Chain A
Amino acid sequence: MLSEIKPALIIAWREIRDQFRDWRIIFPIVILTIFFPGLMNFTARQAVEFVQRYGANLVATRFIPFLLMIVGFFPITVSLVIALESFAGETERRSIEPLLSSPLTDEQLYWGKLLASLVPPVMGSYLGIFVYLIGVYRSIGWQVEPLFLLQIVCLTTVQALVMVSGAVVVSTQTTSVRAANLLSSFIVIPMALLIQGESIVMFWGSLNTLWWIILGQIIAAGLLIRAGIAHFNREELLGRELDILNLRKSWLIFRNAFVGEARNVPEWLFKEVARSMRKLLIPIVLSTGLIGVGLWVGFDLADRLQIPAELLNLDKIQDMNAGLVTGLRGMGFISIPTAFQIWLHNLRVVALATLAGIISFGVLGLLVIMLPLAMLGFFAQTATTIGLNQWSFLAAFTLPHGLLEFPAMILTAAMIFRLGATMVTPAKEKSLSAAWLIALADWAKVFLTIIAPLFLLAAFIEVFITPQTIAFFLK
């Protein structure tokens, strides 16, 4: 085991020593670990004195821990620069080939680079936190809670891990530092949003939420590392000379995967679409489970966040129901344009969920799909408080169109799942982009031939039949 890890440590140690020979890396780390915590300490003291004048002690109480998080975060931003340079820099300087020709495994090389990018900034970050804590203790006597300190240390470490693992993925897929820097916005923007979210959580004082944020980031880092190793390709690192966006080649890969070997439309439908569907068997099972989870979350939320009983009155609802269909007809709901509007809305949701899935290994996309189910579960469970059966409620409100819409949703989730999984699955003899384009072609096939038509039919049923069943149920 140790002999397997040792080469990665050798790589990491060499790189770390090399970094400490480069003043461009040492200088910012020193500034951010010594000078910046001092500045934050000064800021904290001034802020506390200022807000105490107005009795806003709570602001002061929240401000000092917030600055602790910021002090921890700033030095790890250096890790992004180092990680982006890890492979792309070596490729650019042509020093990667002797490494690739050595008996290192892909994993050893990858982990070595990852550790080298991670360790110095994280150490710098810990040092910065230490300097800040000493400073605030000496100036205003503030002492950190051990559990909170642990949270901040964990948070800082996983933030660095997410940034580094993301940046190393970018670095392996580009041939120049310039290209890697340009692509780094894919890391910087989500991280900036994350820090804002964490700041809100910290000012809100919901420190337990931080554990969930830490867990989420550990999962994200795990997926990024998996993606990086899965698509680490010695051949691509050496063979690709320039980062050129070859639209024609991309189109050919997509088209070949989309059309397949079919010679006519029926053959395409029965062979190629069926082949794409076969690839979805496992994702379909998992997506069905996730949709079930969505429903369960809704039930659970309804139990925990109960709507006051006086707001729910079955008699009133039944009175309203008497004119439900007529009312809906009067509003123009029961019409063909509404059906198309619902259909387009569902397609927009599919597009949004797919996009969200693409940038999050499928996770956000699946959440988007789970959300309506959670809402549905919430309403169904809430209905039990006025004596309605939740399953009958679900059947009446969703079953007519749900018979088609649920399978379409499950398929959508399965496709998103597969797109996300493509990013973290080794693509034998294929580049990451080729593997992804093939998965996208499968998505397009299933979307055009099954998902979109199912949603269209479901929309018509939702407009013309479901109101009738609801009225019947509430009667």
Chain B
Amino acid sequence: MIVASNLSKEFEGFLAVDQVNLNVRAGEVLGLLGPNGAGKTTTVRMLTSVLRPTRGWAKIAGYDVVKEAAQVRSIVGVLTEQHGLYGRMPAFDYMDFFGQLYRVEKTVRRQRINDLLSQFGLDPADKRRIGEYSKGMRQKLALARALIHDPPVLLLDEPTSAMDPESARLVRDAIHGLRTANRAIIICTHNLSEAEELSDQIAIIRKGRIIIQGAPEELKRIFLGPKEFEVQLGAHLNGNLPALPAQAVLTAQGPNWLRYQSEHPESVNPEILRRLLKLDLPVLSLKEVDRNLEQVYMEAINTPEEALLG
């Protein structure tokens, strides 16, 4: 649904986006992560046919972002970084205005506006001027605007920024719902837990280049190694550590706990439990150690590019 090949953008000698390759299928969510100024927004703007790529190409649902810009814009829903609402307009009128621009038929438009405002909890305030809205309400309205034409492609720049936890959950649930509706979605965010929760694929962009891309689990395996497990014991080890199976690597240990990594936990875990019990070491718990995307992100951002390419 969203395909980009060697997509690049140069501004007066400054390479903002450098040879970005993307492939997001229908039903998939891609989380585009990166520090400020890494090129996320520029990439999104090229995918919405607002900026013209200097090199490379991109297609949205088969439409070329340069040659078929009008078609691209009509099938893409965009939540921009700065939501840019009209403060003097009531929310309903605002939605209606964009609905007209996207040529949504009147009865469908009215119904969809009511549904979206209701979905995001804005229906009680639909006659109020947007200038009176809180930051979170504005963000929700901007997201509702992006959905007014029921687009098959969604590009969301910071969809939950400035939202309270309850609203952010509401929006995340909405995005979950949108994914099942066979849409391709790209989310640019600094909220790594959100990206991990919502995305099927993660791409980390740094200085305009995508330095790593893949499923969250895959990235964790690449940057943090195989899955890690922790065993809590009911007694001290006292140097009585059992020999681990060949497929497990000890990563840390304490007086009454140990951690190891293994590519094959299905065979390794029972074997380790068996060996511990054989040494009369009571096992209180065995669990997988939580590893979040933040660790991956920090590793990726701080690893030299040559090492990443290697």
A397-B96 Cα distance, complex, nearest whole Å: 72
* A contact residues, total (Cβ < 8 Å): 28
User: Which of A21, A93, A100, A105 meets B50, CB within 8 Å?
Assistant: A100
Contact of B102 among A103, A105, A239 (CB under 8 A): A103
Q: Are B97 and A239 in contact (CB under 8 A)?
A: no
Task: Please determine whether A103 and B97 come into contact, CB atoms closer than 8 angstroms.
Answer: no
For B86, what are the chain A residues with a Cβ–Cβ distance below 8 Å? 14, 18, 95
In Å, the complex CA distance between A313 and B279 comes to: 137
B45 to chain A: closest residue by CB: A238
Q: Is A10 an interface residue (CB 8 A)?
A: yes
Residue pair A97, B50 in contact (C-beta under 8 Å): yes
Residues of B within 8 A of A101 (CB): 48-50, 73, 76, 78, 80
Q: Are A239 and B11 in contact (CB under 8 A)?
A: yes
User: What are the residues of chain A within 8 A of B50 when measuring CB–CB?
Assistant: 97, 100-101, 234-235, 238
Nearest A residue to B76, CB-CB: A101
The distance in angstroms between the C-alpha atoms of A93 and B80, with both chains bound, is 13
Residues of B within 8 A of A99 (CB): 101
Q: Cβ of B12 < 8 Å from any Cβ of A?
A: yes
Asked whether any CB of chain B lies closer than 8 Å to the CB of A145, the reply is no
- Give complex CA distance A474, B184 in Å: 88
Q: A101-B50, A101-B73, A101-B78 are in contact. Are A93 and B84 (CB under 8 A)?
A: yes
A103-B73, A238-B45 known; A97+B97 contact, CB < 8 A: no
On whether the beta carbons of A235 and B52 are closer than 8 Å, the reply is: yes
A94 touches B48 (CB 8 A): no
Query: Is the beta-carbon distance between B88 and A18 smaller than 8 angstroms?
Result: yes
Taken residue by residue from 84 to 106, chain A's Cβ proximity to chain B (1 for < 8 Å, 0 otherwise) reads as 00000010011111111111110
B74 interface residue, CB < 8 Å from A? yes
Task: Please determine whether A94 and B101 come into contact, CB atoms closer than 8 angstroms.
Answer: no
In the complex, chain B residues whose CB is within 8 Å of the CB of A102: 73, 98, 101-102
Cβ-defined contact, A10 with B88, below 8 A: no
B80 touches A98 (CB 8 A): yes
- The 0/1 profile, CB within 8 Å of A marked 1, for residues 70-92 of chain B is 11011010101011111011000
Those of B144-165 within 8 Å (CB) of chain A: 145
B100 CB within 8 Å of chain A: yes
- The closest CB in chain A to the CB of B13 belongs to A249
Given contacts A14-B89, A103-B73, 18 further A-B contacts (CB under 8 A): A10-B97, A17-B93, A18-B86, A94-B82, A97-B78, A98-B78, A98-B80, A98-B98, A98-B142, A101-B48, A101-B78, A105-B70, A234-B51, A235-B52, A238-B45, A238-B50, A238-B51, A239-B11
Chain B contacts to A: CB under 8 angstroms = 11-12, 45, 48-52, 70-71, 73-74, 76, 78, 80, 82-86, 88-89, 93, 97-98, 100-103, 142, 145
Residues of A within 8 A of B (CB): 7, 10-11, 14, 17-18, 21-22, 90, 93-105, 234-235, 238-239, 249, 429
Going nearest first, the 5 A-B pairs with the smallest beta carbon separation are A95-B84, A94-B82, A103-B74, A94-B84, A103-B73
